[in-house]
Amino acid sequence: MDNVYFTADNVRARALVPPATTLTAFYSLCQDDLFAKTLLYSEVPKFYTWNASVKKFQRRKQGKAVEGHPNLYSNDALGRLYTVHSNNTECLYLRLLLINVRGTTSFQDLRTVDGQLFATYRQACQELNLLENDAHWDTALADASNTARPQQIRTLFAIILTTCFPSNLFRLDDLFR
């Protein structure tokens, strides 16, 4: 989600090698550092500092020594993930994965669960059971189908789809079509 500026001179280079971000630097860190592979993205600032000039994370040189890991120190630094509006769904699911999956090494790795690569972050979240199930929507629609008129059921269904973000739209649609 970082802005990348293109000119006629740099368009090819920027497209082939995009600038590093803290997230892509985290992926690189997890590839190179075994300890980092045990961390969530938000835990990295506790043990590493961001060097903006080289766009890399570097181990802290001060703080409380981490037992069993020579030359590794921690402090009370907090990691921060930007908030994401629920309408920006793939970024929302990316964020959800980053706060639940440790030591990922790439965007693809983040979408991989038990060796299976999923096409979207949402599918990976579903596979990891990070999304709420739709049992309460099933119950609400089933109850409505016993007592409500068809127009009321359609209205309820539309409200659920547009404002409640059920985890599996197609299954819900198939059940109550």
DSSP structure string for 108-155: HHHTEETTEE-SSHHHHHHHTT-SPPSHHHHHHHHHHHHHS-HHHHHH
Average pLDDT over residues 118-133: 87
> Please, are residues 91 and 23 in contact by the beta-carbon 8 Å criterion?
no
Compute the distance between CA of residue 37 and CA of residue 78 in angstroms, rounded to an integer.
Answer: 18
Taking phi over 0 as left and psi of -120 to 50 as alpha, with beta for the rest, 139 belongs to alpha
Q: How confident is the model at residue 1 (pLDDT cuts 50, 70, 90)?
A: low
User: pTM above the 0.85 mark?
Assistant: no
| Residues comprising the chain, all counted | 177
Q: Which residue has the higher pLDDT, 81 or 112?
A: 112
Q: How confident is the model at residue 7 (pLDDT cuts 50, 70, 90)?
A: confident
CA distances from 138 to 8, 118, 156, 168, 171 (A): 54, 26, 12, 11, 10
Average pLDDT over residues 88-95: 87
What is the reported pLDDT for 142?
A: 83
Q: Is the pLDDT of residue 152 over 60?
A: yes
Q: Is the pLDDT of residue 3 over 70?
A: no
Compute the distance between CA of residue 15 and CA of residue 4 in angstroms, rounded to an integer.
Answer: 9
Give the torsion sign (CA, 81, 79, 114, 32). Answer: positive
